[in-house]
């Protein structure tokens, strides 16, 4: 069992608090993603787990052992950094062999292991070349190979795709999932990219200012975000927010809707923020209830290939929606369209705390 238990980590750099109170668990064999913007504490967290940080508080348990003060070498972990380091003067084969020989493997055993890892990462054809002669994707696969060749029980990955181009990132996302499946290794993957976190993570921990503020499956986080911050971290294009207040107990009126929407747990006059995902807005007639249908004017279209992001304005509210490209092509900027949403897709947050209050419902009229 290689359970990882990270509890209340605190790390300060002078006046900067890099980790405020970092707490989360990773199950044995799990692919867990940490999702947070730049400077939120991702790298510091991974380094702390590896034993590279001088902590002001908290503990790290791994495979049932308290490793908070254990030396880096004996932890059975391996880390891949954002800027992956390979020995430029050594061949790929020697880059792979180096950690194995240092760990005392016989050269026959090392050779066998190197061949297996090269095959797994599909870099066998590069074994006798120097890293500088490889493509970016090959170099990254070699860096991964170097990290896993010693068969760590936990693999820590710090934004390993950030420096690659879009096509390679796409391929490598699938590659990481395959590696995880084939190796059965526990993986902790830090990224600022919600797409990476949602597509690869079995569970995702969302970080804000040095602490995890929500943990869940990608679906949980998308459908029931714990607060406004989590809602805007997850999903692309980002969720639309509308600030308003409850028009009566358990009721919301919006300037562009003919009828009110119901929502439990809000008091008359309470300041709230509504969240509506671009993908949850559709052309009217596509299943949206009559109460939540409205007219909106197209302000801007942003074709992305298969889909088009459309900015619309309805009365004083502006929002983004997503249409399939061939549907969007029928409309032009300035045109008025009738759109709508399912009231259950409306997320209701308290405006001052940002906390999730619930979802909308169709009003009983």
Residues that bind ligand ADP (CB under 6 A): 13, 16, 18, 36, 38-44
> Beta-carbon neighbour count of residue 234 at 10 Å?
25
Residue 342 tokens read as: 């399912």
CB of 34 to ligand ADP, least distance (A): 8
CB of 365 to ligand ADP, least distance (A): 48
The site partner of 188 among Mg ion, ligand ADP, none (C-beta below 5 to 8 Å per kind) is: none
The site partner of 38 among Mg ion, ligand ADP, none (C-beta below 5 to 8 Å per kind) is: ligand ADP
- For Mg ion, the closer CB: 43 or 308: 43
> Beta-carbon neighbour count of residue 78 at 10 Å?
21
DSSP lists the bridge partners of residue 341 as: 281
The site partner of 87 among Mg ion, ligand ADP, none (C-beta below 5 to 8 Å per kind) is: none
> Beta-carbon neighbour count of residue 359 at 10 Å?
18
Q: Give the nearest residue (CB) to Mg ion.
A: 43
CB of 37 to ligand ADP, least distance (A): 7
The angle that helices 136-148 and 166-183 make with each other, rounded to 10 degrees, is 20
- For Mg ion, the closer CB: 42 or 211: 42
- For ligand ADP, the closer CB: 195 or 309: 195
* Beta-strand pair 293-303/336-341: antiparallel
DSSP lists the bridge partners of residue 204 as: 33, 216
Q: Assess whether the previous peptide bond of 28 is cis (omega < 30° from 0).
A: no
Residue 23 and residue 41: Cα distance in Å, rounded? Answer: 12
The site partner of 108 among Mg ion, ligand ADP, none (C-beta below 5 to 8 Å per kind) is: none
Q: In a 3-state reduction of DSSP, which class is residue 116?
A: helix
Residue 53 tokens read as: 């940080």
CB of 34 to Mg ion, least distance (A): 10
CB of 245 to Mg ion, least distance (A): 39
CB of 99 to ligand ADP, least distance (A): 24
- For Mg ion, the closer CB: 43 or 240: 43
- For Mg ion, the closer CB: 207 or 307: 207
> Beta-carbon neighbour count of residue 330 at 10 Å?
10
Name the residues that contact Mg ion, by CB under 5 A: 42-43
- For ligand ADP, the closer CB: 18 or 55: 18
> Beta-carbon neighbour count of residue 58 at 10 Å?
17
Residue 224 and residue 231: Cα distance in Å, rounded? Answer: 8
- For ligand ADP, the closer CB: 36 or 225: 36
Closest to 328 measured CA to CA, from 314, 308, 312, 311: 308
CB of 336 to Mg ion, least distance (A): 45
């Amino acid at each position: 069992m290689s359970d990882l238990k990270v509890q209340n980590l605190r790390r300060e750099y002078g006046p900067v608090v890099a980790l405020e109170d970092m707490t989360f668990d990773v199950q044995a064999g799990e692919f867990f993603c940490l999702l947070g913007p730049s400077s939120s504490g991702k790298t510091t967290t991974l380094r702390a787990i590896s034993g590279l940080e001088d902590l002001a508080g908290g503990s790290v348990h791994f495979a049932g052992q308290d490793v908070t003060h254990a030396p880096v070498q004996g932890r059975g972990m391996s880390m891949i950094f954002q800027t992956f380091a390979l020995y430029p003067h050594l061949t790929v084969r020697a880059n792979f062999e180096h950690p194995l020989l240092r760990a005392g493997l016989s050269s026959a055993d090392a050779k066998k292991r190197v061949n297996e890892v090269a095959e797994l990462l599909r870099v066998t054809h590069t074994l006798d070349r120097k890293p500088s002669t490889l493509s970016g994707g090959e170099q990254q696969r070699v860096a991964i190979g170097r990290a896993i060749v010693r068969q760590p029980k936990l693999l820590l990955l710090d934004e390993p795709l950030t420096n690659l181009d879009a096509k390679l990132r796409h391929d490598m996302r699938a590659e990481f999932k395959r590696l995880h499946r084939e190796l059965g290794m526990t993986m902790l993957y830090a990224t600022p990219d919600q797409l990476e976190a949602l597509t690869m993570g079995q569970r995702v921990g969302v970080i804000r200012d040095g602490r995890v503020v929500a943990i869940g499956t990608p679906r949980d986080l998308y459908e029931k975000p714990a607060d406004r911050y989590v809602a805007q971290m997850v999903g692309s294009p980002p969720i639309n927010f509308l600030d308003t207040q409850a028009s009566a107990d358990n009721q919301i009126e919006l300037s562009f809707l003919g009828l009110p929407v119901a929502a439990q747990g809000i008091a008359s006059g309470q300041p709230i923020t509504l969240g509506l995902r671009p993908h949850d807005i559709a052309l009217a007639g596509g299943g949206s209830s009559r109460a939540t249908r409205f007219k909106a004017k197209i302000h801007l279209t942003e074709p992305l290939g298969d889909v088009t992001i459309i900015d619309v304005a309805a009365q004083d509210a502006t929002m983004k929606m997503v249409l399939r490209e061939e549907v969007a092509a029928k409309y032009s900027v300035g045109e008025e369209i009738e759109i709508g949403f399912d009231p259950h897709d409306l997320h209701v947050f308290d405006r001052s705390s940002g906390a999730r209050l619930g979802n909308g419902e169709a009003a009983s009229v």
